[in-house]
Amino acid sequence: MEPAQPADRVPDDRTPPDGQPPADLPAGSGAEPAATGPTTPPAAEPALVESSPADEPARSGPAIGTDAAAETGERPAPPPRAEAARSERSPKDMAISLLVLLIPIALLLAFYRGFLGGDEPTTVDPAPAIEQARSANVFPVSQPEGLGSDWRTVSARYQTVEGGANLRIGYITPEGRGVQLLQSNVPAERLLPAELTGQGQPQGPTELAGRTWQRYTARGNQQALVLLEPARTVIVVGDARDNELRQLADALR
């Protein structure tokens, strides 16, 4: 008779003796013997897990990159910044910058006007144009006399045109207005519409230095004095006031 075994111990061999059925199954049942105790699976071999590049130690990043850069002689690229700093300027900064730009411009403008006469119109000598008209001898030529130095001549030109010739002299009046003196032998019926445009309408006669002039309207806010003579037509036209137009017309000699 076998000695008794502890309850928690699984017998080494549960095979019944020859010719005897298992103790826990009825004889002749023909069923397979059932396992009555836990079975210990065979010890599994350790699984081989393939490591991914992401599982490599951190040293494989910077260290490898540093070694590669050292081998090639190139400096490693700096790490990207998280966020670029914003460079917005306040209205105060913009105003200061604008002021810094405007101050030199204002100084240059003041120097140009104060010392170089930047606001002064460029004056010309009308004598060559007057002499050329007199040399052509196609119409009598008059010249203003007795005008003050505040009357400035800014243009003078003599030219031949279709139907005759013109002598134009431009002035800046003491009040800063523009006036033109035109002497021409072009027929008046062609000259007046061309110079005064279709808006030119007679406004009545006026006496100046013993001669009868006709007052006309002209383009825009301009007005004109017209002297009609057999050999020539004289026009004084501009945006100056009437007293300055009369002064120039009265000075013609």
Tens digits of residue pLDDT in 193-238 = 999 988 789 999 999 989 999 999 998 889 999 999 999 999 999 9
- pLDDT bin (cut points 50, 70, 90) of residue 98 is confident
Average pLDDT over residues 68-75: 56
Per-domain residue ranges of the chain: 127-250
How many Cα atoms are found within 13 Å in the side-chain-facing hemisphere of 5?
Answer: 10
Q: Output the pLDDT for position 57.
A: 45
Strand-pairing partners, residue 205, are 214
User: Is pLDDT above 90 for 123?
Assistant: yes
Tally of CB atoms within 10 A around 10: 12
Hey, what CATH topology would domain 127-250 get?
Phosphorylase Kinase; domain 1 (3.30.200)
Take residue 123 and report the two structure tokens written for it. 């004056």
Q: Could you tell me which residue, 76 or 6, shows the higher pLDDT?
A: 76
- pLDDT bin (cut points 50, 70, 90) of residue 110 is confident
User: Is pLDDT above 80 for 64?
Assistant: no
Q: Output the pLDDT for position 32.
A: 47
Lowest mean pLDDT among 63-67, 134-138, 234-238: 63-67
User: Is pLDDT above 90 for 134?
Assistant: yes
Percentage of the chain lying above the pLDDT 90 cut: 49
Pairing of strands 164-172, 178-184: antiparallel
Average pLDDT, the chain: 78
DSSP-assigned letters across all residues of 41-110 = PPPPPPP-PPPPGGGS-GGGTHHHHHHHHHHHTPPPPPPPPSSPPP----HHHHHHHHHHHHHHHHHHHH
Q: Output the pLDDT for position 82.
A: 47
Tens digits of residue pLDDT in 137-170 = 999 999 999 999 999 999 999 999 999 999 999 9
**How far apart are the C-alpha atoms of 245 and 237, rounded to whole Å?**
7
